[in-house]
Structure 1
Amino acid sequence: MISKQKHRFYLSLFFFMSGFSFATWASRIPTIKMAFDLNEAELGSVLLALPIGSLLGLPISGWLISRFNSKVPLAGGYALNAFSLALIGFAHNIYSLVGAVILFAFTTRIFNISVNTQALTLQKQFDKKIIGSFHGYWSIGGIAGIALSTFLLAINVSIQLHFTIVAVAMLAITMYSYQFLLSGDRAKTGNKLILSKPDPYIFYLGIVVFLCAICEGGMFDWSGIYFQEVIKVEIFTYGYLIFMTFMAASRFLSDIIIGKIGMPKTYIMSAAFIVSGISLAIIFPVFWPAMIGFSLVGFGTASIIPMSYALAGASKKYSPGMAISIIATYSITGMLLGPPLIGYLAHAFNLRVSFIIFALCGLMLIPITRMFFNHQKIANQEPE
């Protein structure tokens, strides 16, 4: 019998590698922009392939989670994700690039829902909170991915070789680690998506993760270009690296912070960090203020999605897998609509102006989270 600690270790490894592979893609976006000679609007159009692929995966991912144990789509989705990453590196024209990006988003969608379903199921075996640490390992993986990208850029390694190395590592880890994932976690009820009036509990959480994901997605895809074109530094991964470093630190601290001050105050604190951080980077577009600003944004965004996933898992209407599937639709849509939105605004105005959208999303988190907790309080007072 596999111990819960071993399950936790290998599930953490998948979170780590997921962050690593996503950072590999995101950190090389400036390379892709230069290789295909794209302006900001054209790059935004390419990045629009991401939400398309993700939305195509919506019905598939929900069906897979309801039909199989989550380890099956987890491993299958991640293996295909490795293949799609390699395809991005070898894309030779804009059409093959867009096709590979769609497949990358599609498989990311399936994997993310599966791995978070595993995390919620494993959480039930522990007395202390462990959800935040899983997302922390995703961020640590992102830092490692950026660090490798920075090193390979410094020694002029091609994007083709870079993406192939990462893809092979992803496949090897998937093949070995599959045996250590949780089995028998298919929920018997709540697996069907009910097409009716939106459930306020899920809807409010969906809007929260949508707003946060716009910030995360925009920072993932545009922080390198911001440092390259606005801050004007040669090693453009600095901004992405500091953002991910503080995101990781916050996620490992999030369970402690939530235990001390509670989720409502943690949401407000997170929003304040996002607004102040991005404002600092916009008002003072030089190296150190931008680095401090990006670190504050990383600290602010870190806890929001893990908290929201944990709350979604407590839904009375849906199983954890289906609740996460619905919430992840909002999350991934925000994360993948944010980058093209920034691209179009940057083309119409400039990149500094376009980053104001992050501050607006941060501000909106405050009233939406208050509406959610008010709804939750009223619902808990109602008789069953």
Structure 2
Amino acid sequence: MTDTPTRARRELTSWRNAVFAIFFLSGLSMATWVSRIPAVRDDAGLALDVVGIVILGMSAGSVLGLIAAPWLLARVGAHRGMVLCLILVACGLVVVGVGSTVFGSVAVLIVGMAAFGFGNGAVDVMMNVEGAAAEREIGKTLMPLMHAFFSLGTVTGAAVGAGASAAGIPVLWHASAIAVLIVAGIVVAVRFVPLRAAVGDEVDAGSPRKPWRRRFVDGLRVWGDVRLLLIGVVMLGMAFAEGSANDWIALAAVDGHGLSNTEGAVMFGVFVTAMTVGRVAGGPVIDRFGRVRILQISAVLGIIGLSLFIWGPSLVPGAVWLAVVGIVLWGLGASLGFPVGMSAAADDPKDSAARVSAVAIIGYFAFLAGPPLLGFLGEHFGILNALLVILGLMVLAGLAAPATRERAAR
């Protein structure tokens, strides 16, 4: 980049920092919900399987958002699309707060979670496509660091959530305050995202916009790429490992290990902190050792960590610290799967939105199937036993890791 004009370098830096901020806001929104799941459960008097159904509302919305994201990118572009989606996320959080604090209503919670999920699912594709574009322009592995800002957002959200829980602040007021912060943050950050032609329009080349049928067919065609499907397997296993922690680690700590709601929120904070550390360190480590080796090591760490979290305090009675060590390894192991999968899917800039959307849909299948599956298993066999499902999926992710190999040196 030494031949890049000074102004261009400044613009690239501002662009990169804006994407960092958007990842942070998305993570902040997610942790706001997750850290208050025990409070929402108590406010509405929900059983574990009903909590799973509420989370399913978010998961279904997320998948719809993922499917809609390429169309939104083609119609309005990432700049406007990310603003619209994060405003929807903020509105969803407020509705969840109303459903919990005011009505204690499952129906209102599901509506709020569906809106929240749609916005986050769509913005997930948009910010990853935007991040991959910035990564290519800058010429360094940045996607893990971008996802580290997502994790940093979750760390912040978990800390605020634990504080709100300890102070007895109602979910509505907590969620509303975070919603205002998200809207203000995206309005400021998006100013530094280039206002380029909508993805897939090809107007920069002087050619007319592709008809929607052509864009639809192009979106379907990427599903025939075996390498992309194997990247999706990596995403499935790692997203399940990450998402199950987001959805269930607080309740697993409370119901499985006998901790308080506040201590459960702290356990979630430990997990997302480990995720953040793994992602901050991930870029340079991947550049040195390659995606495949690092993902295989990550899978092993995740399996060991899950095992310690599930069985550690039982094997050594009262040794909650073993569960904490397990959470750290679990977080480190799951930290790089999603960003590396996104980066691998976007290696070829052609149809990058469709390819990123495809692997994200596969990964988000974990979020769709996971909540009701783990909720059902947790209700009948105990939440810690339900987490055993994740072990097998992490094994599959490790076996599929070679599909993420870099196609060419950066």
Structure 1 and Structure 2 fold alike (TM over 0.5): yes
User: Is 1:194 the counterpart of 2:220 in the alignment?
Assistant: yes
CA distance in 2, matches of 1:136, 1:337: 25
User: Is 1:291 the counterpart of 2:317 in the alignment?
Assistant: no
CA distance in 2, matches of 1:133, 1:196: 27
* Partner residue, 2:185: 173
CA distance in 2, matches of 1:59, 1:151: 36
CA distance in 2, matches of 1:329, 1:197: 11
Whichever residue aligns with residue 45 of structure 1, its letter is I
Q: Give the CA deviation at 1:107.
A: 1.0
Whichever residue aligns with residue 345 of structure 2, its letter is A
% identical equivalent positions:
22
Whichever residue aligns with residue 111 of structure 2, its letter is G
User: Which of 246, 249, 252 is matched with 2:280 structurally?
Assistant: 252
User: Which of 39, 48, 60 is matched with 1:52 structurally?
Assistant: 60
Q: Give the CA deviation at 1:183.
A: 2.1
CA distance in 2, matches of 1:56, 1:19: 19
Do the aligned partners of 2:66 and 2:125 also contact (CA within 8 Å) in 1?
A: no
* Partner residue, 1:271: 299
* Partner residue, 1:215: 241
CA distance in 1, matches of 2:53, 2:367: 15
Do the aligned partners of 1:217 and 1:336 also contact (CA within 8 Å) in 2?
A: no
- Higher fraction of helix: 2
Instruction: Give SS of 2:257's match.
Output: coil
Decide which moves more: 195-204 or 88-97.
Answer: 195-204
Instruction: Give SS of 2:137's match.
Output: coil
RMSD: 2.0
Q: Give the CA deviation at 1:290.
A: 0.5
User: Is 1:280 the counterpart of 2:308 in the alignment?
Assistant: yes
* Partner residue, 1:9: 17
Do the aligned partners of 1:40 and 1:347 also contact (CA within 8 Å) in 2?
A: yes
Do the aligned partners of 1:13 and 1:137 also contact (CA within 8 Å) in 2?
A: yes
Cα deviation 1:277-310 (Å, max 9, x = unaligned):
0001111134100100011010001111111111
Q: Residues 1-384 of structure 1: matches in 2 within 5 Å?
A: 3-91=11-99, 92=103, 93-184=105-196, 186-187=199-200, 188=202, 191=215, 192-194=218-220, 198-234=224-260, 235-285=263-313, 286-315=319-348, 318-370=350-402, 372=403
Do the aligned partners of 1:243 and 1:298 also contact (CA within 8 Å) in 2?
A: yes
CA distance in 2, matches of 1:284, 1:58: 37
Q: Give the CA deviation at 1:101.
A: 0.8
Q: Give the CA deviation at 1:363.
A: 1.2
CA distance in 2, matches of 1:195, 1:136: 31
Structure 2 CA distance for partners of 1:35 and 1:11, relative to 1, 3 Å: same
Structure 2 CA distance for partners of 1:196 and 1:290, relative to 1, 3 Å: closer
Q: Give the CA deviation at 1:220.
A: 0.3
Whichever residue aligns with residue 312 of structure 2, its letter is F
Instruction: Give SS of 1:3's match.
Output: helix
Q: Give the CA deviation at 1:196.
A: 8.1
Decide which moves more: 219-228 or 7-16.
Answer: 7-16
Gaps of at least 5 residues in structure 2 are: 1-6, 203-209, 314-318
Instruction: Give SS of 1:275's match.
Output: helix
Cα deviation 1:20-52 (Å, max 9, x = unaligned):
111001111111111111111121122111222
CA distance in 2, matches of 1:254, 1:345: 33
Q: Using structure 1 for the length normalisation, give the TM-score.
A: 0.93
Whichever residue aligns with residue 16 of structure 1, its letter is F
Decide which moves more: 188-197 or 208-217.
Answer: 188-197
CA distance in 1, matches of 2:308, 2:222: 43
CA distance in 1, matches of 2:326, 2:73: 39
Q: Give the CA deviation at 1:330.
A: 1.3
Question: How many pairs are equivalent?
Answer: 375
Whichever residue aligns with residue 244 of structure 1, its letter is V
CA distance in 1, matches of 2:59, 2:162: 27
Q: Using structure 2 for the length normalisation, give the TM-score.
A: 0.87
Instruction: Give SS of 2:219's match.
Output: coil
Instruction: Give SS of 1:233's match.
Output: coil
Instruction: Give SS of 2:77's match.
Output: coil
Q: Give the CA deviation at 1:160.
A: 0.7
Whichever residue aligns with residue 85 of structure 1, its letter is L
CA distance in 2, matches of 1:134, 1:290: 28
Whichever residue aligns with residue 115 of structure 2, its letter is L
Instruction: Give SS of 1:68's match.
Output: helix
Do the aligned partners of 1:210 and 1:333 also contact (CA within 8 Å) in 2?
A: yes
